[in-house]
Structure 1
Amino acid sequence: MLQKKLRRTNKKIYETLVANGFEGSYRTVCNFIKSWHMTSEEENDTRHERLQHPPGEAQVDFGTMEVVKDSHAVDVKCLVMSLPFSNRTAAVALPAENQECFLTGLKMLFEEIGGVPQQLRIDNLPAAVIQPRTTREEAIYTDAFLQFMAHYGFQVQSCNPYSGNEKGSVENKVGYVRYNFLVPAPVMHDYDSMNRQL
């Protein structure tokens, strides 16, 4: 069975079935998948907190995506930025999650969206955070990230440890980018061509 992050969406399943001679409707496929999920898995009783997202706020996070390079499946890192107020998304493929890639990726994302958000919400990325936020103390950031913040003039808000719900918009967008643009795994010639595709 495929890893959860590599499974296909209803739309992709329907397109594959049609390509193999299926004559039913998209709604039939959706209804079947929904009933299958209800009978094969117990529903989780989870509670969700509604978050308000002011204009000018962005959330960023890394995701791992699978691509085909030189006839081999390889993982690439993808830095995704979500602007929850407008529901806009931008993504850039990078070779690693280190500080140089993170700052270069942010710069590329700012160019892609045509500006710099007023506030940036991040989790405790080692590329930017030396010491994570605690209940008593704020996060401590790397010197390079502090200089980057000062240069571009945005504020940063780091999430609490193990609290992905505090940046749920970008968590969802990482999955959206993966399922809609990178499943099945595309062929990657180089990072420039992959980023033009994204």
Structure 2
Amino acid sequence: YYDEPWLPIARQLPYFQFPHKVITRKAQLDGQRVLRELVTEEETRYDELGNPIWHRNALGAVEESAYYPVTGEAENCPADPLGRITRLKSRTVSPPPGTEGPVKQTQYRYQSLPVRQDAPEFALPTFIQSSEEKLLLVEGEKRTELGRSSQTFIVDPASPHHGRMLSEMQTVQGKSTTRSYSYQLNQARNARS
């Protein structure tokens, strides 16, 4: 863990309770004798707010994550209404050393939606919704799109369906499939008006 046992909690890193390294040992036993043992190790690093930014799994593959700033980024992510950095901008996965697998990156986009008209007073005026994921093949500086998934949502704050998915489009190798959604409310026969 990232904790410093000699420091009080107020002076610890925000992510002091998160694991830095996880070592897993598995053994096949014959009575008290170990026939086989497998030891794996995973490691994770965090940014100053506790968001995971680097992870090496037990096989050695590395996952690197980047986040949008609090202020957002034009066309890709609105400012966070709570002033926090939590929206994933990209995740890049590199294969384990010594393998020939590709490096892949997923990029994320978000949009802001107003809250419903009947939202409680304490609700923020908007909420942030994921709206697109794009999978890329990374070869040095070159990025080749492998696929994309994008969503649209019902934007009608007076509707009980506000914020629900309206359509989803998935594109793979230049071919797209679109799903459209519709909703209706039915009152149960024994429900009171």
The interval holding the TM-score normalised by the smaller chain is: under 0.3
**Whose helix proportion is higher, 1 or 2?**
1
Rg (Cα) greater in structure: 2
| Greater RCO, CA 8 A, separation 6+ | 1
TM-score scaled by length of structure 1:
0.20
TM-score by length of 2: 0.21
Q: Which has the larger strand fraction?
A: 2
